[in-house]
């Protein structure tokens, strides 16, 4: 069933916004675009009021021109406050041009990035990105688990389920497998600089009891490439779950004001590093450590490394 989208954009991004609206409309969604509905002399505020109430979700077409515009915040802010915990996904930032400054209320949301890709890839990202989470249409395949039956002395009642251990090869193929993907540095409207990253589960089982901690810091280019960082302390308990073939995004703390000034001056490197621990779906504890390095003179250029406790 199609969704109803309000398309919020700056006139500088009109063509990109129209492409987004047409692509969504083409796959069965409904869209509200003022250029397509308001005649000359139409009342824009009244139209906005009616269409924001009508829409299920708002797409914010993010660019350097959108963020500082006068009217855009009126549109997306109303939807953010109607969905304070983000469970409805009422506001979807769609990045169409690289943007260094994101409003704090939008920076914490998951977004769709349409930059640096072909039209086919942009279409795939957009359509997949607006889909609401749902169970698969087809029943997942059942894989028979084979093993020796427990001996009768220790077996419970007949109706009690029997758990057997699968082979190590099966665990390697099926288990949860976390990685950390960089999502860029972001210059907030209040001058703070933060980083975003995504913990991505590339495995076939959910990663459970996920715990993580992430640090950020500026370092002088004259120090060479860093190999040792401040120790990361992981919370003792975690309840987060990252489903198979999915991800969760998070931001870091802000750089210190002094380091933010160095970043704005294009000096040195910003490092983001951390550790995640999780249950791999077979009851085995796993961990991974990672490091992302951004060049302050060209923040779009980065390097990434990660390491896992089993090498698989």
Whole-angstrom distance, CA of residue 31 vs CA of residue 185: 31
Angle at 182 between CA 177 and CA 185, to 5 degrees: 155
Whole-angstrom distance, CA of residue 131 vs CA of residue 113: 15
Q: Given this model, what pLDDT does residue 12 score?
A: 92
Instruction: Determine the average pLDDT of the residues in 215-233.
Output: 74
How many CB atoms within 10 Å of residue 171? 18
pLDDT digits (tens, 9 = 90+) for 277-290: 999 988 889 999 99
Question: Using an 8 Å Cβ cutoff, are 286 and 176 in contact?
Answer: yes
Question: Using an 8 Å Cβ cutoff, are 237 and 296 in contact?
Answer: no
pLDDT digits (tens, 9 = 90+) for 145-168: 666 655 555 555 555 554 545 555
Instruction: Determine the average pLDDT of the residues in 252-275.
Output: 91
Q: Given this model, what pLDDT does residue 151 score?
A: 55
Mean pLDDT of the chain: 83
Whole-angstrom distance, CA of residue 215 vs CA of residue 252: 7
Q: At the topology level of CATH, where does 173-308 sit?
A: Immunoglobulin-like (2.60.40)
Q: Given this model, what pLDDT does residue 227 score?
A: 57
Q: Is the pLDDT of residue 303 over 70?
A: yes
When pLDDT is cut at 50, 70 and 90, the band that residue 271 belongs to is very high
Question: Using an 8 Å Cβ cutoff, are 18 and 32 in contact?
Answer: no
pLDDT digits (tens, 9 = 90+) for 39-59: 888 898 899 989 999 999 999
Q: Given this model, what pLDDT does residue 1 score?
A: 64
Q: Given this model, what pLDDT does residue 72 score?
A: 82
Q: Is the pLDDT of residue 124 over 60?
A: yes
Percent of all residues in the chain with a pLDDT value above 90, rounded to a whole number: 32
Domain covering 4-130 in this structure, CATH number: 3.40.50.10140
pLDDT digits (tens, 9 = 90+) for 57-94: 999 999 998 888 877 888 888 788 777 777 788 899 99
When pLDDT is cut at 50, 70 and 90, the band that residue 311 belongs to is very low
Q: Given this model, what pLDDT does residue 231 score?
A: 76
Q: Given this model, what pLDDT does residue 162 score?
A: 47
Q: Return the residue matching tokens 């009126």.
A: 74
Q: Given this model, what pLDDT does residue 167 score?
A: 54
Q: Is the pLDDT of residue 210 over 50?
A: yes
Q: What is the pTM of this model?
A: 0.48
Where in the chain are the domains?
Answer: 4-130, 173-308
Q: Which two tokens stand for residue 34?
A: 């003022």
Q: Is the pLDDT of residue 232 over 70?
A: yes
């Amino acid at each position: 069933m199609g969704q109803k989208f309000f398309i919020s954009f700056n006139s500088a991004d009109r063509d990109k916004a129209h492409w987004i609206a047409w692509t969504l409309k083409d796959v069965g969604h409904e869209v509200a675009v003022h250029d397509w509905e308001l005649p000359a002399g139409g009342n824009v505020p009244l139209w906005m009021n009616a269409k924001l109430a009508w829409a299920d979700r708002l797409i914010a077409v993010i660019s350097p021109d959108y963020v500082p515009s006068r009217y855009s915040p009126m549109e997306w802010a109303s939807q953010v406050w109607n969905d304070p915990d983000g469970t409805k996904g009422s506001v979807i930032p769609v990045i169409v041009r690289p943007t260094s400054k994101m409003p704090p209320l939008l920076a914490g949301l998951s977004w769709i990035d349409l930059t640096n890709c072909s039209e086919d890839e942009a279409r795939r990202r957009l359509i997949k990105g607006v889909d609401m989470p749902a169970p698969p249409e087809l029943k997942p395949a059942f894989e028979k688990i084979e093993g020796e039956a427990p001996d009768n002395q220790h077996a419970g009642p007949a109706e009690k389920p029997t758990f057997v251990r699968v082979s190590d090869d099966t665990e390697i193929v099926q288990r949860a497998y976390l990685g950390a993907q960089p999502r860029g540095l972001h210059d907030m409207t209040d001058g703070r600089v933060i980083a975003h990253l995504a913990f991505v589960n590339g495995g076939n089982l959910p990663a459970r009891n996920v715990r993580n901690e992430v640090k950020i810091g500026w370092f002088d280019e004259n120090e060479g490439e860093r190999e040792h960082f401040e120790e990361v302390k992981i919370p003792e308990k975690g309840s987060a779950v990252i489903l198979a073939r999915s991800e969760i995004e998070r931001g870091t703390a802000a750089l210190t004001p002094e380091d933010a000034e160095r970043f704005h001056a294009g000096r040195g490197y910003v490092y983001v590093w951390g550790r995640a621990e999780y249950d791999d779906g077979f009851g085995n504890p796993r961990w991974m450590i990672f490091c992302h390095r951004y060049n302050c003179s060209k923040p779009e250029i980065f390097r990434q490394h990660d390491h896992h406790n089993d090498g698989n």
